[in-house]
Structure 1
Amino acid sequence: MTGLVLAMVWRRRGQAVTLALLALLAVAAAVAAPAYLIAADRAVAAGQIATAAPGELGVSIAASLDARAGADPDAPPPVDFTTVGAALVDLPGFDYVYAAEYPAVGIEPTLEFASRMVFRQRVCDHLRIRAGRCPAGEGELLLGERTAARLGLRPGDPVTLTGARFNDDPRAPGYLPAAIPQRLTVVGTYAVRDAGEAYWGTHGYFTATPGRGPGEPVFTIMATVRAMDHPGTDVSIDGTAGAAVLDVDRLGELRAGVERLRETAGKLGSAVQLSTGLPGLLDRIDAGRAAARQLVPVLAVPLVLLACFSIFLAVGYGAEGRQNELAVVALRGARWWTRWWLATGESLVAVLAGALLGCLAGQLLVNAVAANRFPGVGVDPGWSSLRYAPLAAVAALLAAVAAQRRQLLSPVSTLLRRTPARRGRRVLITEAVVVVLAVVAGIQLAVSNGSLTGLGLFAPALLILAFALVASRLLVPVVTGAAARALHRGRPGTALAGFQLSRRPGAERLFALLVATVGVAGYAACAVDTAARGRDVEAVLGTGAARVLDVGPVYRQQLLAAVRAVDPHGDFAMAVSRLPSGGPSIPGGLAVDSTRLAVVADWPDDAPTARSVAGRLRPDTAEPPPVLSGTDVSVVATTSGLGAGKRLRISLALTSVQGRGDTEVQLGELQPGRRTYQQRVPVCQGGCRLNGIGLTAVGTALGITGRVVINELGSVNPVADAVPAERLREPGRWRMPRNGRLSADPAGLRIDVDASGGLSAAAWVQPVDTPWPLPAAHAGPLPPGAVLTGLDANPLPVVPIAGLPAVPVLGRHATLVDLEYADRVAVDAAQAQLPQVWLNDRAPADIVDRLSAQGLTVTGDHRAALTARRLHVQGPALALWFHVLAAGLAVLLGAGALVLAAAVDRGRRVEDLSALRIQGLGRGAAGRAALWTYAILVFAATLVGLLVALGAWALTGWTLPLAGLTPPDLPLPAWPRPGVVAGACGAVAALLFLVALATGRDLRDRIESKTVNGRNG
């Protein structure tokens, strides 16, 4: 009996090979999913490691050692750094750097700042020696080139340094000498090669200090550190992970080692600090892997279901073609097992052979994809990738048996029928169950807020299958009606093609399969394109510009002046500062140099143009800001009406017009009558812009009222640069938002103070040199009359001028104002909050050096291209390549089922159409009936499959974790581009259409051959 089954396989070897290929694809799909996940796990780890920040690839242990410890016998024993270093013994494979530092005074002209005396192993390998040489002996120093230029020091100059300690008295902050002075020699000057290099750790050696320019330590050797007297030393060991430690197969060991290191450092007490970004990196790798494990099954499940459905369809078609043979077996009274084996053996042999080959094919397919998409990572093949292969093989065999249940159970009379019976009640029940499961899965997704767990994980697969089955139910009436109309219009070829489909129950199942094939491919296209567009938005709009440089502490006007000096024409650079948030109802925002907004910033889609927004953020003003030219500022004021015990202090908020910084100058307590108040302000050398006149209560008195008239405002020398008297006499050219009112006075600007609650904070009088309220663009709600938090943390009234879908970097609930105007209305004389320089792709390669020459210190460098690269190696992006693979396998399954269906139908259709040809049917009509039967099916399935893909995406696409691990609050796209989805479905349709035409041509040739033979016979 087995020999007979094998003979049947050989006799219909074309069908057997096609069925084996379908089984191969089914098992290959089941093997490919876990194999791909293994490869993706490795690729996620490798990608995150390759794009990690330097601080995420190392560890640092630091401690403070008291050089004079031991003087107090009752004090706890000092921390021995050899003990700290011993904590790293259990963490091998790192490149360790020892460092020590302490503060010293003597080089800087003031005790407000101290020099950082630093020893760091192999430091000269990471510096550029600009003049002189690297320290080699005790007492030799290496200065930063800008520090040396500022202090007028050159190689060979002697200096005297004294170990110092910080004075924490708030009345006199700074450093105090606390050791024996030491005479040392400058032997060279340096510039840092790369301040962000992993070698420097997280010590912030090159962070700028306001008023001193870029931070530059004084480097020396360990002998000098030990020989020089100083109160204490901060020591550290920085370890950078080597390639062996970061191997993707050893990440578990690395995590365990870091945890042991934490425990060891914790036992040493609070005197030892451990810092490392490795746990965050490892957590990000785990999160990426988890996202991949969610995304891969989304199309792996429908792919396996599609494979089983294609086997069910193919075997069912084959069984219908062999009904006459099975009827003869049943008529002869064969025993049930003989009948069962003869009915199913041919299909089971082919399915089993294909399943065995599918195990190897699935792994090889993933190997090929991984070699192309994850070069150098490898897939780590193992038996675990085959864990679902037996289940897939069993499912394929069960599908083959289920497809032949009617031939196994039907009586001989049914098997001898030429026209198969329509689908019965069991089929309807099965389809209803699928639809119900799809509905339940969709509801679970909705109520679980898109959690891809439980039945929700199968929602895309069930919805695609349910939509396809429902659509197939509509095929017969639609095709029958179209065929009837074609017949009435005298187009017999088209009519015959339609009737062929409407008379074959198998055509409905084939149509459902083709719809699901196009649906899977279309859904994959939706996911891949939506994710790609989302990553672009995250990289571009989330960064703000092609390149963004973080800047060390700097005043806002200094930032503006430095950027404008580097880019005077506004071609490539823009100064940016952060606008503080005032809580959930008062969004934060960006203050930008809007004159460069349109040139530099990346701008959201569906927003007014950046140029139009920039113009409205910075309208022209009639009043220029008042400028005081000299360093000795002077105010002449007449005070009256202050009650007993009520005293006021006057101050000025000034900003250097040459980028020297901001300051609030205290001029003293106001005295009754007309008095002159003066103060020297070094920052005003070259001129200062007046931001405001402040009045503050002395003490805590309440109910302060009184009158102050500003008679004169300017510089002592030259007096000619004072604020014009006519400007002082016009209150409309000034504003006082709170605690008083302004009015005209022949003697100057009259200020009537009225502060019932006191003046713990200054009441400010400001020149009207900016629009008021300040124009602001906004994303999210911002009603008219809104008040934001200004750069000085004071209330800032704004008027909305444009609504945006998102503010670059900050997202969908933020604001945008002009930096210079916002700085003019600020009176805090404080540094910029999160200062940055945004650059477009035309910025020169030496932009960091140019900014440094203007006194800015770059502390961070963010590039949209690097952000995009990081997003491309995260779990969601890597997992989506499986969707492309699944779409390809789905198309092969659909094509294979189409070929097998055509092969089974071929014999009967040749008989029917050749008989009609002999009876007078035209050659053209017969040819069209042969060519277009399956072509029409493919065309209809493509249109319906496209709708199915879009419907499934609308219901489930929002649940997929496509936007990376920590998506920003940006308007990420929810839908793919129509052309991409249409193109993907069109490509699938083109392939299936070619298969349909090829089978139709073969059928047409056979019909003509048999027709000629019939007429000749």
Structure 2
Amino acid sequence: MISLVLAMVWSRRGQAVTLALLSLFAVAAAVAAPAYLVAADRAVAAGQIATATPAERGLIVAGTQDKRADSGGPEFANIGAALLKLPDFRYVYSAQFPTIGMEPDNREPSTVVFRQDVCAHVRIVAGRCLIGEGDVIIGARTAERLRLAAGDPVTLTFAKFNDDPRQPLYLADGLPKRLVVAGVYEVPDQTEAYWGTHGYFSGLDPVFAASVTLDAFFPGPTEMAIDGTAGPGALTVDNLENLRAGLAELTASANQLGPGITITTSMPALLDRIDAGRSAARLLVPVLAVPLVLLACFSIFLAVGYGTQGRQPELAVVALRGSRWWTRWWLATGESLVAILAGAVAGCLTGQLLVNAVAAARFPGVGVDPGWASLRYAPIAALAALGAAVLAQRRQLLSPVATLLRRNPITANGARAVAVEAVVILLAVLAAVQLAVSGGELDGVGLLAPAFVVLAIALLTARALLPLVTRYASRALATGRIGPAMAGFQLSRRPGAQRLFALLVATVAVAGYATAAIDVAARGRTVQAHLGVGAARVVSVQPVFRSQLLYAVRQIDPDRKFAMAAARLPSNEATEPLGIAVDTTRLAAVANWPTGATPAADVARELRPAAAEPITADGQDLTIDATATGVVRGRELRLNVAVSSLKGLGDTVVQLGDLHEGRWRYQQRVGVCAEGCRVNGFQLTIGSTVVGVTGSLVVHSLNGAALPSAGHWRMPQYGKLSATPAGLRIDVDATGGLPKGAWIHPVDAPYPLPVAVAGGDPPGDTTAGLDGAPTPVTVVAHLPSVPRLGSQATLTDLEYADRLSTDAAVALRPEVWLNDKAPADILDRLTAQGLTVVADESSAQIARQLDEQGPALALWFHALAAALALLLAGGALVLAAAVDRGRRVEDLSALRAQGLDEATVSRATLWTYPALVAIAAVTGGITALAAWAATGWALPLAGLDPPPLPLPSWPRPWVLAVAVLAVFALLAAVALATGRDLRRRIKP
């Protein structure tokens, strides 16, 4: 019997090979999914490690040591023992403290730094590196600015900061130490992991010295640190769990290392990002792995059914001879089972090799984790393929001889077929509903939703196809178009054609669905990298006054070509959206603008309408000539003035003292006004417990110049303004007291403040200004998203918002946005303007990180699934044509002998299956869109925690159309090839 089955396989070896290939693809798909997940897990980890920031690749153990107070603090030896829990880390010891004596003033100190092995990481451009006590090396910029050279003496003194706001300077706190400039250095790579996250080069270049030199200062509070950087063996794909455990153990034992010890690291964030990427990949891969396996089983079911129909006469003879049931079963199924088993064995290897090839091309250097885990689903897939084969032959195994001898095939549209299709449709509805009810949780039945939706629509459209094709064929025959009529009847009278059409529709739908996911995800990553960052590059700086930030950026880029200042508005996310203020004069040139929004230039004009010139004061001596009346002894009002430097020297609120009855001159020396300043407002205040406050003040002049009329000022509350010949009159009437003072603002900015909003108008008519006070606003533009902040945010002009603020405080999260035209030395230019860089983020960097995260890597499996689905459909199409070929050759040869012309025969042979493919391509594209509408929204294409950005949710029509056309072209080529083969076999 075995030899007979093998002989049957050999006699129909073409069909057997095709069936074996279909089985191979089915098992390969089942093996490829888990194998790809293993490879993706490793690739996600490797990609995130490769794009990690220095803070995510290391840790800092830091503390403050004061030898004068014998405070102990961190001892290198004790800490080093604790770090043994993290093997294969490279450690660098460092210490630093502030000094004065080198710079011409004491506003910014010279930081003396000991850093282990510093000479190996700097380039000496003059002199030599450190040798012994008393040697220091200074930066090239410092040497040029201070005109110092190798061999010059310098004297430095340990310093401490004087936190008195009236004199924010560093003061000497030790004995002077005479040192020698041994050399001048440059740093080849300031981003090298060796330098850690200390920001040595964000301000004045540090003065490097040996540890013995630092000890000779007998310093006070000294910042001590050990920087650990993960070596090649510590931060690898296979060591992540050990690393996480070591970090947890080190953090838990931090309190045992000594008082004041802090451990700073962003490694847990890196590990969490890797875990989130892996979780997203484990959701995305099965989304198409499941329909691919179902498609493979369906193709085997179809192929075996077609093949068995072609062997019905043989099976009828076997049944007629009265063979035992097992003999009949073996002869009926053996040929298919042998081919399927052979393909299943080859599929185990093929699936792994496919993943290896994709991993080698897409994840070079990562590799696939060796092992047998990826084969755990191979037996299930093989059994499913065998089950599909047996199920496809059930009618031939159970039908009587008379039925098997019929020339017309057994119908497949009975009650059982309808019941099966109804079950599939019901499962599709349940899966889609469960997905919607769960809020997009891709687990349980929800994970199967895409597969069942595609299969259900394919079956429904296939059932509707035959009546339409029959009607078309009948009309073609009635009008004398014999070729199309014959092609149509060939499809409508073959029950297998309905299933073949369903298979083709599902194939196109799977390819279209995969294309939709890839396109939507790619565009989403672009939105995150561009709109999420806000500009091509965003540099965060240490807190400075808003006027300083604006002035510095405008000095760097006076032509408004590449740089823009930005700062956050204080907001409570629970009650109001995030807000950002930017220099809108550069908005159109610098910001990455949301697609579909009003042009940035138009929005900038709305946010920055014309306004009066600010009121300014020249010179550092601020003088106000004013007359006060109604002053009550012991309850005097106090006069303050909020000012901002015009040259980037800062902001302050000048306290001019208590008001005196009569005409007085109030004067104060204000350093920030040395080169001119802008008046942000006058404030009249009194003790917080005083109520029933009244009084009047007439301001005659400011620094000798008369003030503008009352129309150029506003007083929101606690009084009123009026004009008098003597000057601006201010009448205060606050029965409940002045808890925050009575402010008089110059009208030099639009009021209410114009804002652009995303996500709907802000609640109420006010929002928090830069100083945190409620500021009336008017919405002038609606945006789909505010760059950098997202879909729930506000945007306004930084200068106007600053003019309305009176807090004289530093900017909240100050940033400098840059476009791709920014010069290479932009960080040096920022530093030269007094801005200290603390972070540097770019769209390109974020794009690289996103490309290496789980969603992006998982979608490569979708491309692989689409290719495998196409191969399955092509194989099924070839097998269907091969089974039909014998009978069609016989029929058409007879018709040719009776006078049917060759052109009609060519049309009947060449266009039967291409027409089926064309209809399936259109229907499959629509099916893909329907499946995407039902389930695509739930795919974690932007990760498990998507950012609040207007991420795309639908594929671009032309992209989907190109994918459908490509699938159609390939399947149509296969169909045409089978038609040509059939035409060659027809006898003239």
**CA 1:485/1:757 → structure 2, altered by over 3 Å: closer, same or farther?**
farther
Deviation string for 1:446-481 (max 9, x for gaps)? 111100111111111111111111111101111111
Matches within 5 A, 1:794-943: 794-943=773-922
Q: Decide which moves more: 403-412 or 193-202.
A: 193-202
Counterparts of 2:948 and 2:102, CA distance in 1? 48
Q: Report the secondary structure of 2:911's partner residue.
A: helix
Alignment check: 8 A CA contact 1:143 1:186 kept: yes
Percent of pairs with identical residues: 63
Alignment check: 8 A CA contact 1:625 1:769 kept: yes
RMSD, aligned CA = 2.3
In structure 2, what residue type is equivalent to 1:4? L
One of 972, 975, 982 as aligned partner of 1:1003: 982
One of 524, 539, 546 as aligned partner of 2:514: 524
- By how many angstroms is 1:598 displaced? 0.8
Q: Report the secondary structure of 1:802's partner residue.
A: strand
**CA 1:256/1:26 → structure 2, altered by over 3 Å: closer, same or farther?**
same
In structure 2, what residue type is equivalent to 1:822? A
- By how many angstroms is 1:639 displaced? 1.1
Residue in structure 1 matched with residue 756 of structure 2 by the alignment: 777
Matches within 5 A, 1:918-997: 918-964=897-943, 966-997=945-976
Deviation string for 1:696-746 (max 9, x for gaps)? 2145312212111111112xxxx4xx2x45x2xx21111122222211112
Residue in structure 1 matched with residue 354 of structure 2 by the alignment: 365
One of 631, 635, 651 as aligned partner of 2:640: 651
Alignment check: 8 A CA contact 2:47 2:849 kept: yes
- By how many angstroms is 1:395 displaced? 0.8
Matches within 5 A, 1:96-495: 96-104=91-99, 115-127=110-122, 133-144=128-139, 156=151, 158-163=153-158, 179-188=174-183, 190=185, 192-207=187-202, 214-423=203-412, 424-495=414-485
In structure 2, what residue type is equivalent to 1:935? P
In structure 2, what residue type is equivalent to 1:668? G
1:82 aligns with 2:77: yes
Residue in structure 1 matched with residue 41 of structure 2 by the alignment: 41
Residue in structure 2 matched with residue 539 of structure 1 by the alignment: 529
- By how many angstroms is 1:596 displaced? 1.1
Residue in structure 2 matched with residue 1015 of structure 1 by the alignment: none
Deviation string for 1:927-981 (max 9, x for gaps)? 2111111111111111111111111101110111101354321000000111111
1:614 aligns with 2:593: no
What TM-score, normalized to structure 2? 0.96
- By how many angstroms is 1:2 displaced? 0.9
Q: Report the secondary structure of 1:89's partner residue.
A: helix
Alignment check: 8 A CA contact 1:142 1:188 kept: yes
Q: Decide which moves more: 119-128 or 546-555.
A: 119-128
Q: Report the secondary structure of 1:548's partner residue.
A: strand
Counterparts of 1:786 and 1:596, CA distance in 2? 27
Deviation string for 1:629-648 (max 9, x for gaps)? 22211111111124454321
Alignment check: 8 A CA contact 1:602 1:808 kept: yes
Q: Where does structure 2 lack aligned partners over 5 or more consecutive residues?
A: none
Counterparts of 1:705 and 1:902, CA distance in 2? 101
In structure 1, what residue type is equivalent to 2:216? A
Matches within 5 A, 1:696-735: 696-698=685-687, 700-714=689-703, 719=704, 722=705, 724-725=706-707, 727=708, 730-735=709-714
**CA 1:356/1:43 → structure 2, altered by over 3 Å: closer, same or farther?**
same
Residue in structure 2 matched with residue 17 of structure 1 by the alignment: 17
Q: Report the secondary structure of 2:809's partner residue.
A: coil
In structure 1, what residue type is equivalent to 2:775? L
In structure 2, what residue type is equivalent to 1:891? L
Q: Report the secondary structure of 1:975's partner residue.
A: coil
1:693 aligns with 2:672: no
- By how many angstroms is 1:506 displaced? 0.6
Alignment check: 8 A CA contact 2:576 2:763 kept: no
Q: Decide which moves more: 102-111 or 470-479.
A: 102-111
In structure 2, what residue type is equivalent to 1:977? R
Counterparts of 1:932 and 1:78, CA distance in 2? 86
What TM-score, normalized to structure 1? 0.93
Counterparts of 2:735 and 2:258, CA distance in 1? 52
- By how many angstroms is 1:660 displaced? 1.8
Q: How many correspondences in the alignment?
A: 987
**CA 1:187/1:827 → structure 2, altered by over 3 Å: closer, same or farther?**
farther
- By how many angstroms is 1:389 displaced? 0.8
Counterparts of 2:606 and 2:74, CA distance in 1? 61
- By how many angstroms is 1:345 displaced? 0.5
- By how many angstroms is 1:196 displaced? 4.0
Deviation string for 1:22-41 (max 9, x for gaps)? 00100111111111111111
Counterparts of 1:602 and 1:703, CA distance in 2? 53
Q: Decide which moves more: 129-138 or 809-818.
A: 129-138
Counterparts of 2:565 and 2:689, CA distance in 1? 40
In structure 2, what residue type is equivalent to 1:600? V
Q: Decide which moves more: 113-122 or 894-903.
A: 113-122
- By how many angstroms is 1:852 displaced? 2.1
Alignment check: 8 A CA contact 2:138 2:208 kept: yes
- By how many angstroms is 1:421 displaced? 2.7
**CA 1:54/1:79 → structure 2, altered by over 3 Å: closer, same or farther?**
closer
- By how many angstroms is 1:394 displaced? 0.9
Residue in structure 2 matched with residue 63 of structure 1 by the alignment: 63
Q: Decide which moves more: 149-158 or 971-980.
A: 149-158
Q: Report the secondary structure of 1:87's partner residue.
A: helix
In structure 2, what residue type is equivalent to 1:197? E
Residue in structure 2 matched with residue 513 of structure 1 by the alignment: 503
Q: Decide which moves more: 845-854 or 968-977.
A: 845-854
One of 593, 597, 601 as aligned partner of 1:603: 593
Q: Report the secondary structure of 1:474's partner residue.
A: helix
**CA 1:757/1:196 → structure 2, altered by over 3 Å: closer, same or farther?**
farther
- By how many angstroms is 1:330 displaced? 0.2
Counterparts of 1:146 and 1:654, CA distance in 2? 33
In structure 1, what residue type is equivalent to 2:521? A
Residue in structure 2 matched with residue 563 of structure 1 by the alignment: 553
Q: Report the secondary structure of 1:240's partner residue.
A: strand
Counterparts of 1:706 and 1:557, CA distance in 2? 33
One of 716, 723, 727 as aligned partner of 1:737: 716
Residue in structure 1 matched with residue 579 of structure 2 by the alignment: 589
Q: Where does structure 1 lack aligned partners over 5 or more consecutive residues?
A: 208-213, 1013-1017
Residue in structure 1 matched with residue 493 of structure 2 by the alignment: 503
In structure 1, what residue type is equivalent to 2:966? A
Counterparts of 1:557 and 1:87, CA distance in 2? 46
Alignment check: 8 A CA contact 2:359 2:368 kept: yes
In structure 1, what residue type is equivalent to 2:220? P
In structure 2, what residue type is equivalent to 1:487? L
Q: Report the secondary structure of 1:867's partner residue.
A: helix
Q: Decide which moves more: 792-801 or 342-351.
A: 792-801
Counterparts of 2:194 and 2:251, CA distance in 1? 21
**CA 1:739/1:318 → structure 2, altered by over 3 Å: closer, same or farther?**
same
- By how many angstroms is 1:271 displaced? 3.1
Alignment check: 8 A CA contact 1:162 1:230 kept: no
Alignment check: 8 A CA contact 1:780 1:813 kept: yes
- By how many angstroms is 1:102 displaced? 3.3
